Amino acid sequence: MALPGAPAPAPAAAPALPPPPTVLMSVRVALEQPPRRPPPPAALLRLQLSLQPEPRGQRRFRLGLRRAEEAGGASIAEYDLKDISYTVRSPTCHELVVFGALDEPMVFNFEEEREAQKWWTIVSSSLREVQKASDSSLLAPQASSLPVAAGGSSAEGDPQEALFSELSRKEDLALQLAQAIEDGDEEAAAQCAVALARQQATLSILLKESNYPPDDISMNVGVEDATSSASIVLRVQPHTTIATLKQQVFQDYGFHPLVQRWIIGQCLCVDERTVSSYGIRRDGDTAFLYLLSAKRAELTRQRYEEDQAQLLLNSIASLGDGAAAGEQRQYNTLPSTSPRKAWGSDPSRKMDISEISQHLDTMQIGDLVSNPSASAAASLPSPVQAGWSCPKCTFINKPTRPGCEMCSTDRPDDYVVPCSYKPDETELWRIQQEQEGILQYQQALEAERLRNFQQLLQLEEEVLVPNREVLECRICYQQVAPGEGVLLRECLHNFCRDCLRQVINYSEEPEVACPFRDDSYACSSHLQEREIRALVSPEEYRRFLERGLVLAERRTQNSFHCKTTDCRGWCIYEDSVNEFRCPICQVLNCLLCKAIHEGKNCRQYQDDLQLRAQNDAAARQTSDMLQTLVQLGEAMHCPTCHIIVQKKDGCDWIRCTVCQTEICWVTKGPRWGPGGPGDTSGGCRCNVNGQRCHPRCQNCH
């Protein structure tokens, strides 16, 4: 059969036999012929993609067209991938065009869509490899053909030569930096680092393998997904990175790196770090691998097949490169092909489609097409494990565990422990330990509460609560040592003892207020009676009580003080009582006349008083003078008891010496309302809403 673009047979020669090619994939197709051509004798053909190793580590991909096995399987034509264009026309129809051929394109029809998709995955990966090799080969001739100017430099103005020159300088600096660090030359290393930083060079700094122990490590790995679990053993080296470990699992077991989550030492591992940095240092050390679903990892079938095809190509290349394979392995992040692969030891053997795509049928990818809602976990044979998935590290924990065993994240609130779940011995022991720990915590908490209660009782029995730390008194602003100050019980403000004693001695109120003040707050609490008694001397406490009695008498409306000179007796009378016998001086006072007139009734006493006033010229002169002062405004009658009062100097606030009423001088009325001091519902209402009570007011404070 004559096919377009098929090369003519070469003359017979006897060169050295090249190494046999490696067959990547072979598939049965039907060649579709144009209407004007008769069909070939054998309608079914076989497409075959092979890899031919070449010197200097290069690879040559060839696509061959062969007859079907029942027709003898003879080769019809072979093409380099760089000489053809291969496209997909439909899920089961592909097209091949040979560059430079005048014939029409070849159209292949596949029996199954899935087989066509697998074939396209392998071919497209190979085409990308050919394109990369072609791009790199074009750069070398262009760089070598550049004209060289005087002094060995390339022609000015060539951007590509400038790029190569800059890259060469960066490479030299990177090599010098590595050598300086290895030699311990801090100055040279600093100079190289500064030069690279100025050029903003992108680096990847890794320790050489020689820094790590050379021995291999047998690492125990617990593998879990949403429904199953298993245990495997991996051979790793201390310098193996997590990224390399993911590629190793991908090659050996078919689990894509995107679905892998490694947990070592209760840490969620990152790709850049090595297993030794996470504590894998000897045989038997344990790691955990949790597999996500393909949907959760956003892994598509196309991405999986492309990455698996790329992994396969790299593995085959490492086998076919001969002596260069060892050197290439040093710089390849992919692990070497596992010796358990039967086809790996025979590169010339024709591989079956099932061997290439054996992992494409796993649940990790198949669920995206057949059942998107199903779990895309690996098909490791193991019974279904009950438990809850950690929302942070995805580790499957036992149902009764309150927190994640790996990262200590709390169990989801909406998770319900299955009724049929029976904990094993290990979980029962953990639950018992947890209950004992809770019991011990409750006992310790109860003991602490009891100690706190006893301390409160002890403080309650103490008269004064001393300060336990150094403090600054808010009155004298002096530093007060521990035990020298006082903590007030009602408000917990601290002051020194001397300042509190002065506050008590100069207080005009029977209840001593806390002296704490600042720009925005004034404490409204008061000192307790036992605190006052402990802070002052007995004599000072006696005077404090006397001031309280005097103030109580002044503020009591129906109070009457004994008219005996210097007598301290007083009482609170009612309307039905007309006489008061002082308990101190035993003198009988008349509440109607506000005087002492024993032996006389009230009428006799008032007549006698008027008679004495008419005959006393001095008393009459004093009365006239007081009336004149009232008329001139220099004196006034008290609005409560109506005696004449006079302001000597100062502000407009005065107090009646008889009834102790607070008076506003300019308004000639009471300062406060019926409620006493602070009641602005009556009185002069000075400073209410920022307004003065009178235009001539000089502050009623």
CA-CA distance, 522 to 425, in Å (whole number)? 64
Which residues partner with 260 through β-bridges?
291
Rounded Cα–Cα distance for residues 79 and 7 (Å): 9
- Rounded to 10 degrees, what is the CA torsion of 376, 381, 384, 387? -70
Round to whole Å and give the CA distance between 352 and 25: 7
| Degrees, nearest 5: CA angle 562-567-570 | 40
Question: CA-CA distance, 575 to 264, in Å (whole number)?
Answer: 94
Residues in the chain: 701
Cα-flanking dihedrals φ and ψ of residue 230, to 5°? -160, 170
Cβ atoms of residues 701 and 678 within 8 Å? no
Torsion angle, alpha carbons of 107, 110, 113, 114, to 10: -120
Helix (H, G, I), strand (E, B) or coil at 109: strand
Q: And the tokens for 476?
A: 């004298």
Tokens of 345: 């030891």
Q: Which residues fall within 8 angstroms of residue 458, CB to CB, at 6 or more apart?
A: none
Q: Collect all residues with Cβ–Cβ distance below 8 Å to 199 and sequence separation of at least 6.
A: 166, 169, 170, 173
Q: Where do runs of H (alpha helix) occur along 76-205? A: 113-144, 159-183, 186-198
Give 632-692 as a DSSP string: HTS-EE-TTT--EE---SSSSEEE-TTT--EEETTTTEESS-TT-TT-TTSTT-TTBTTB-
Q: How large is the C-alpha radius of gyration of the chain?
A: 53
Angle (CA) 542-545-548 rounded to 5° is: 150
What's the longest Cα–Cα distance across the chain?
A: 173
Burial code (b: 16+ CB inside 10 Å, e: under 16) for 258-267 equals bbbbbbbeee
C-alpha to C-alpha distance for 329 and 333, rounded to whole angstroms: 8
CA–CA distance from 10 to each of 13, 21, 328 (Å)? 9, 19, 35
Q: How far is CA 342 from the centre of its chain?
A: 50
Question: Which 3 state secondary structure label does DSSP give 31?
Answer: strand
Residue for token pair 């264009």: 85
Active site residues: 651
